[in-house]
Amino acid sequence: MLSPQKIKDLEKQGYRIVGNHSCIKVCLWCKKSLIDKDACYKNKFYGIKSWQCVQMSVSLNTCTNRCLWCWRDIEFTVPKWNGPVDEPAEIIDGCIKAHTKYLMGFLGNKNTDKERFMEALKPRHFAISLISESTFYPKLPEFIDRLHERGLTSFLVTNGSNPEMLEKLLKHQPTQLYITLPAPNEEIFTKACNPLVKNGWQQIMKSLSLLKRFSCRKAIRLTLVKGVNMLNPEQYAEILKNADADFFEFKAYMHVGYSQQRLGIENMPLHEEIKRRFWWLE
């Protein structure tokens, strides 16, 4: 599904390819948690140990959007699945193997917390969030079931572009479902996310409407970019008040990765700016 050159580029960036269409990448917070005991927000908000978390994707290059703020390389993504479909058990085994192999270098670091390192070799959580849109993997319901059978928790992140898969997941629910709301209206969505399909906004609205049927923990995230989608707070409020979620996350765009080719550092809002704009949060 990817060219040899693209695979080489991804591996230079820290990705490890698993099978035909999956990958892992050991995130910054997993590394930091092993050395200086810092941890990511999921550790504080949701009780997920950063050092036992596998950051991965089951869909390397399938995504319907090319959002301006995405820190990943979005130019090689396609809106429709093509190629083989790997088995869930093979993906899980491959991801754990690649993840723990990557961590072995920490044994040589005198600052590594040895107790945490031993725990890290036995992951307890899969963050299905790394790259592209994992809801297009045809066997996602079975994949989540296999994770739970092994005692692993699942944190599924989606851009909401595939409500048909979310409907299937009603009988195969993740531990937590996490949906991105990228804009306050369709016009801004079209400009900011450059959708590769015609009905992208309608699909997101349908996905949000499905939240009330999920019994798992649910969160909606807004990645806010100054001058792009950090606009019309009242329209965001109207959407959110009708969405059945346990948490709303208002997150500043980070000027990192490939997004630096599309946006400037001036597009990155401060926390206080978000609070002033979305005053109704308090």
Count the Cβ atoms, other than its own, within 10 Å of residue 273.
14
Q: Which helix (H) or strand (E) holds 17?
A: strand 16-18
Scan for tokens 């192999």, then name that residue: 101
CB 135 within 8 A of CB 177: no
Q: Could you give the CA distance from residue 123 to residue 218 in angstroms, rounded to a whole number? A: 22
What pLDDT is recorded for position 191?
Answer: 97
Domain boundaries defined on the chain = 4-281
Return the percentage of the chain with pLDDT > 90, whole number. 88
Question: What are the b/e assignments for 115-135, b being 16+ CB within 10 Å?
Answer: ebbeebeebbbbbbbbbbbbb
Region 139-144: mean pLDDT is 98
CB 248 within 8 A of CB 219: yes
Give which of 137, 132, 126, 144 is closest to 89, Cα–Cα: 144
φ, ψ for residue 69, nearest 5 deg: -90, 0
- Cα-Cα-Cα-Cα dihedral sign, residues 93, 154, 175, 65: negative
Region 142-159: mean pLDDT is 98
- In the chain, the amino acid numbered 75 is E
Scan for tokens 């490890």, then name that residue: 16
Give which of 262, 18, 42 is closest to 157, Cα–Cα: 42
Question: Which class is domain 4-281?
Answer: alpha beta
pLDDT reading at 266 higher than 70: yes
Return the percentage of the chain with pLDDT > 70, whole number. 99
What pLDDT is recorded for position 12?
Answer: 93
What digits encode the pLDDT tens for the residues 203-231?
999 999 999 999 999 999 999 999 999 99
What pLDDT is recorded for position 280?
Answer: 67
Please, what is the average pLDDT of the chain? Answer: 95
Q: Could you give the CA distance from residue 214 to residue 236 in angstroms, rounded to a whole number? A: 22
What pLDDT is recorded for position 119?
Answer: 96
pTM of the model: 0.94
What pLDDT is recorded for position 18?
Answer: 97
Count the Cβ atoms, other than its own, within 10 Å of residue 177.
24
pLDDT reading at 35 higher than 70: yes
What pLDDT is recorded for position 58?
Answer: 98
Give which of 184, 256, 177 is closest to 224, Cα–Cα: 184
Residue 72 is encoded by which pair of tokens? 């990943």
Q: Could you give the CA distance from residue 161 to residue 205 in angstroms, rounded to a whole number? A: 9
The secondary structure of residue 110, as a DSSP letter, is: T
Q: Identify the bridge partners of residue 56 per DSSP, sorted by sequence position.
A: 24, 128
First to last CA, the chain: 46
- In the chain, the amino acid numbered 172 is H
φ, ψ for residue 53, nearest 5 deg: -110, 130
